[in-house]
Structure 1
Amino acid sequence: MYLIVGLGNPGKEYEETRHNIGFRVIYELAKKHRIEVSGLKYRALIGKGIINDKEVILAQPQTFMNLSGEAVAPLVRYFKIPLENLMVIYDDLDLEPGKLRMRRLGGHGGHNGVRSIIDCLGSKEFPRLRIGIGHPGDLMPVRDYVLSRFFEDELKLMEEAVNLACQGIELWLEQGIERAMNQVNRKTD
């Protein structure tokens, strides 16, 4: 079984914000594969289904971003998910908008949601997919930027990024992390 987690903040006021790009990928995967993400377990909305002949759980933590681990770690334990079968999808300030990077493991890179997951799991050895949202520079504080909506000229780019992220997840499930990393990371270089 695989657990695919998209990070974001719950609530209408955060929909379509940069910080919620992980939620958006889960939404698109669920729609494409007809998986209903509506059950609540361990402070996360979840849905079970099949993607590329693999049993998956799609999850959107309903904690706020900085407490994501409080939802993810109990799900991992309850469903007995090996960490290599956990994929965490989240926004990344250090990547240009629309750029994707899939990794087998790594640190939190300053992302508080990932930091919380690492702390609660006691391990950083799980795959992750980072989606670039760009950095505001001196335009506005980072906190305001990640909670803002995408600019009009970024919308098409981010839609393409979400579609590529879905393809990357499907490839990961079908052919493994190495093949998925090669495809995803190369496509947005």
Structure 2
Amino acid sequence: MSDKYLIVGLGNPGAEYALTRHNIGFMVLDLLAEHFRLNFKGGFKGDYAVADIYGKRVYFLKPQTYMNLSGDSVASLANYFKIESENTLVVHDDLDMEFGKFKLKLGGSAGGHNGIRSIIACLNTEKFIRGKCGIGRPNVSGRNYVLGKFTQEEFDKLDEFLSIAKDAIICYLNCGLKEAMNSFNNKNIKKEEN
């Protein structure tokens, strides 16, 4: 295994998408940037930063290609720096999990997510880690839902949710995938007691 790692947060560029459900990957990366004091710069069709963390060279990437072309940005950085797909973790929204649930998973299909589909196509493998952020299944069309803003109730719990995702990724970088999965895959935001 190489000691180079890539953490990708998926989202759409532009102010109008800033607080939409589809941009939760960007939000998690912004928290990691704050934690590790990262400075992003433009390149590889995205904004990226590099840091030496826990003895690893870690690249952080927010593709600026729009969601369905995310793979162009991920593959260009991964290929340039020779980062193995197994060392690539992609943080994204997931319609099939309830809001507030976070799960790490290695490999699998795109599950209807255009950003993940694009990354699979451009890396030519499904063998990368997903950091799935549950946003719940809507009653409206998926597209309108993912591009919509969080409800007030969700927004009130968003910081706690993003912190769980951030802590899971820090644990992954420090202790490895297995320990991060064991510690965070059943973790959820605290439910309000009635």
Q: Same fold (TM over 0.5)?
A: yes
Secondary structure at the aligned position of 2:7 is classed as strand
Give the partner amino acid of 2:119: I
Is 2:9–2:90's contact at 8 Å kept on the other side of the alignment? Answer: yes
In the alignment, structure 1 residue 156 sits paired with structure 2 residue 159: no
Superposition deviation, residue 136 in structure 1: 1.2
Structure 2 CA distance, aligned partners of 1:186 and 1:11? 33
In the alignment, structure 1 residue 121 sits paired with structure 2 residue 134: no
Superposition deviation, residue 156 in structure 1: 3.0
Structure 2 CA distance, aligned partners of 1:51 and 1:98? 27
TM-score relative to the length of structure 2: 0.92
In the alignment, structure 1 residue 28 sits paired with structure 2 residue 31: yes
Is 1:51–1:170's contact at 8 Å kept on the other side of the alignment? Answer: no
Secondary structure at the aligned position of 1:68 is classed as helix
Q: Which residue of 1 aligns with 2:43?
A: 41
Matches within 5 A, 1:8-157: 8-37=11-40, 39-137=41-139, 140-157=140-157
Q: Which residue of 2 aligns with 1:172?
A: 172
Secondary structure at the aligned position of 1:16 is classed as coil
Give the partner amino acid of 1:60: K
Runs of 4+ in 1 over 4 A off after TM superposition: none
Give the partner amino acid of 2:130: R
Superposition deviation, residue 57 in structure 1: 1.0
Q: CA RMSD in A?
A: 1.2
Secondary structure at the aligned position of 1:106 is classed as coil
Give the partner amino acid of 1:17: T
Superposition deviation, residue 144 in structure 1: 1.1
Structure 1 CA distance, aligned partners of 2:106 and 2:185? 12
List gaps (5 residues or longer) in structure 2.
Answer: 190-194
Deviations along 1:61-97, one digit per CA (max 9) or x if unpaired, are 0001011001101111001001111100000011111
In the alignment, structure 1 residue 5 sits paired with structure 2 residue 12: no
Secondary structure at the aligned position of 1:66 is classed as helix
Give the partner amino acid of 2:170: E
Secondary structure at the aligned position of 1:88 is classed as strand
TM-score relative to the length of structure 1: 0.95
Secondary structure at the aligned position of 1:124 is classed as coil
Secondary structure at the aligned position of 1:188 is classed as coil
Structure 1 CA distance, aligned partners of 2:14 and 2:90? 20
Deviations along 1:23-50, one digit per CA (max 9) or x if unpaired, are 000000001110011x111201001113
